[in-house]
Amino acid sequence: MASFSDPQTDLNSHMGGEGLTWVGSAPFTTEKHVFVNLGDGTYNHSGSLAIRASVAAGSHVTYKLLFNDAVAMTGGQRAESGFTPAQITRQLAAEGVARTVIVAAEPERYDGVTDLAPGVEVYPRSELMAVQRRLREIPGVTVLLYDQICATEKRRRTKRGTLEATTKRVFINPLVCEGCGDCSKTSNCVSIEPLDTEFGRKRQINPSSCNTDYSCLEGFCPSFVTLEGAEKVQDAALPALTADSTPLPIFEPLTDLRNIVFTGIGGTGVTTTASILAMAAHVDGLAASVVDMTGLAQKGGAVFSHVRIGAGPTQVVGGRVPAACAHVLIACDILSAAGPDALALYAKDRTMAVANADFAPTADFVTDRDARFDADNMARRIAAATRRFDQVPAHRLAETHFGDAIYANMIMLGFAWQKGHVPVSSRAVYRAIRLNGVAADQNLQAFELGRRIAHDPDLAQMPPSRDAAPMALDDLIAHRTTDLQAYQNAAYAKDYASRMAKIAGLGSERLTRAAAVNLYKLMAYKDEYEVARLYTDGRYADQRARSFRGGRVKIWLAPPFLGLKDSEGRPRKVAFGGWMLDYALPLLARLRGLRATVLDPFGGTEERRAERRLVRDYQADLDRIQGQWSAVKEALAVQIAELPQDIRGYGHVKAASMVTAAKAREKLWQAWSET
């Protein structure tokens, strides 16, 4: 899986052969050392032999042995041997491993542990990179045992009640967020989703899929807030629904097999919903089978569940739905439903499709901060391949009425059932939900809500999206001018407005819009005063209140005067209590008049000097465009004006983006001179 997203990961092997490709290739390469990934399940059944072979061959290699307490890819079962980390360290020592180090998400759990192999040290997760560098220099075979419960399995156990749910929530202040993607890069988490706002694309945490790993907090950004004991806000209370709340549908008669395909994302309950449907068929005395095609779905990838229902208990129903034989598509996720593997299952003359109109970003957004997904085009693709196509905003309905998007799949099942596509009785569905035993009352209500929406689609009309629609150009400039006055003062805002008037006089709306957005972006750089203002002017409080109620607030910051560094030598964030929001930040916001003056305690840092230099350079660029304007150069002018879009983040993240943008700027001006 690492090789899918990391270009520096290669030398794949079969399970149990990890590191042996390096044994064979090491003598013939200038590379001196490699890291090898190995899971605890694989270690227990065969991977320990690979380590033994590497020791025997004298390889210079570090095994990164992940102890995550579950074989997550194949269902979350326990590793067969039941070894503890301490037992593994002693086995590794006996095999001749030169050094073993434990890195743990909760290192305090090793306090009092006395049966580790001699010399084994325990470090917190924040020291991971430093530990890897040290192990790389030790000759022979070394092992980094990384101890952290599988995030997917942790969420599953929490849902089942076998693991106590955490009370800490994470919230991103979108006004402070720069959309740089460092939090996604640091955490590799698909629960960090895009949020399109009037100030551009930002980030938000999906609380329904958040696995409470909290590694996103390590992203170098002051927009992160944690709330201890907060409750998710439900926008609307749902009146109790019963089987009689909605008239019964007219069912298509079941005379042979009914092939039903669910598509979705792993970890969101799609396979559970499919299993409930299959059980409902058994309750009705029908033959049924369910085959889950999960692959990497345990890690948030695409999942397909094939449910086949026969007209009688003795009918042979088989396994997977054959190509072009699906009678019903329940697309809990439209992206996987629009893929080639799914499209091959549909038939234009028979497939009745119902789809979730709410789009969930995939792991592509983790690696590409600007990834875009055309949900409308996907819907058209499915509609063209099926006999009938209906959509329902299942995620928004689930979050609005139940406070958790996990119930979207049951809403989808209820919707499809009410359309007459699912040939089981509501009594059987009720019984199957009760037998499943997890959040039965909520799932029953979700099923009935889906029925109700199918019967009366007008009830699905949701409140307008909070994402702002693009402003008219004049409104955009006026809005940014007003905001810059709040940012600094009237003179600062007037300078912006006058420069925009000159650019607008060139007659290019594309250029004017690009300049309006990006000149504002650079002039309103987020220094300490601005971050304080964006937390205390009331907008943050309103946004947080729409998502969470109550809770003890902590804000994660890296004040330069503390001088704290992580293992990479970069500034380290620490949590500050509610007093920071109540007292320190309001005071700092009122001191914004000191910005860029001799009395500014922050203005002399390299980051602040670079930000002011960016403003001057961009203003000079706009002046040059204005002075050398011609219609044939419009496309280049727009590209130059849009360059600041790639300058994002804080600290070292922003510094790196400045270097990239500077190189692009130089090339564009060279092209300008040659045009």
What mean pLDDT is reported for the chain? 88
| DSSP track, 291-349 | EEE-GGGGGT-EEEEEEEEESSTT----SSPPTT--SEEEESSHHHHTSHHHHTT--TT
Q: Report the residue count for the chain.
A: 675
Q: Is 86 helix (H, G, I), strand (E, B) or coil?
A: helix
Average pLDDT over residues 280-287: 94
Average pLDDT over residues 79-94: 87
Of 354-358, 561-565, 639-643, where does the model show the most confidence?
A: 639-643
Share of the chain above pLDDT 70, in %: 88
Which range is least confidently modeled, 29-38, 69-78, 563-572? 69-78
**Residue 421 clears pLDDT 70, i.e. is over it:** yes
Average pLDDT over residues 354-367: 73
What pTM was computed for the model?
0.77
- d(Cα 327, Cα 338) in Å, to the nearest integer? 16
Handedness of CA 134, 71, 219, 560 (dihedral sign): negative
What would you report as the CA-atom Rg of the chain, rounded to the nearest whole angstrom? 28
Q: Are 548 and 542 in contact (CB under 8 A)?
A: no
Q: Is 282 helix (H, G, I), strand (E, B) or coil?
A: helix
Which range is least confidently modeled, 160-174, 365-379, 474-488? 365-379
**Residue 78 clears pLDDT 50, i.e. is over it:** yes
pLDDT at 464: 47
Q: Which helix (H) or strand (E) holds 392?
A: strand 388-392
- d(Cα 399, Cα 408) in Å, to the nearest integer? 8
Q: What is the DSSP letter of 195?
A: E
Q: How many helices (H) and strands (E) does the chain have?
A: 27, 19
Place of tokens 């390889």: 59
456-459 long-range contacts (CB < 8 A, ≥24 apart) are: none
Q: What are the structure tokens assigned to 598, written together?
A: 């001799």
Q: Which position has the higher pLDDT, 549 or 52? A: 52
Q: What are the structure tokens assigned to 599, written together?
A: 């009395």
Q: Are 269 and 412 in contact (CB under 8 A)?
A: no
- Other CB atoms within 10 A of residue 162 CB: 8
User: Tens digit of pLDDT for each residue in 301-326?
Assistant: 678 999 999 988 888 788 899 999 99
Q: Are 650 and 526 in contact (CB under 8 A)?
A: yes
- Other CB atoms within 10 A of residue 447 CB: 27
Non-local (6+) Cβ contacts of 214 within 8 A are 168, 170, 226
pLDDT at 354: 96
**Residue 275 clears pLDDT 90, i.e. is over it:** yes
| Domains of the chain by residue range | 2-149, 258-460
The band of 94, judged by pLDDT with boundaries at 50, 70 and 90, is very high
CATH for 2-149 is 3.40.50.970
**β-sheet bridge partners, residue 205:** 192
pLDDT at 660: 95
Share of the chain above pLDDT 90, in %: 63
The band of 77, judged by pLDDT with boundaries at 50, 70 and 90, is low
Q: What are the structure tokens assigned to 30, written together?
A: 């200038």
What is the third-level CATH fold of 258-460?
Pyruvate-ferredoxin Oxidoreductase; domain 3 (3.40.920)
